[in-house]
Amino acid sequence: MAIRHFLTLLDLSPTELMSILNRAIELKKMRNEGIVYQPFTGKVLAMIFEKSSTRTRVSFEAGMSQFGGSA
């Protein structure tokens, strides 16, 4: 399988984009219902940024934490 990069919305087909959005809605509903879903338990995300970005770093850290991992 070839590596695909997601740099702009043009890198996804309309079907792929809708699939991602539907999954996000499903995950948010689960969280709001108190369902614990932690697929990244025991996983660590390493982040390398070309420029310092506190908001981006904190967003990734929060996301990893919500799904059981750490960054």
pLDDT value, residue 53: 85
Is 64 within 8 Å of 40 (Cβ atoms)? yes
Question: Rounded mean pLDDT of 1-21?
Answer: 93
Residues facing 44 on adjacent strands = 70
pLDDT value, residue 65: 95
pLDDT value, residue 52: 84
- What's the CA gap between 11 and 6, in Å, rounded? 6
Dump pLDDT digits (tens) for 21-59.
999 999 999 999 999 999 999 999 999 988 888 898 999
Asked if residue 15 has pLDDT above 90, the reply is: yes
Please count the residues of the chain: 71
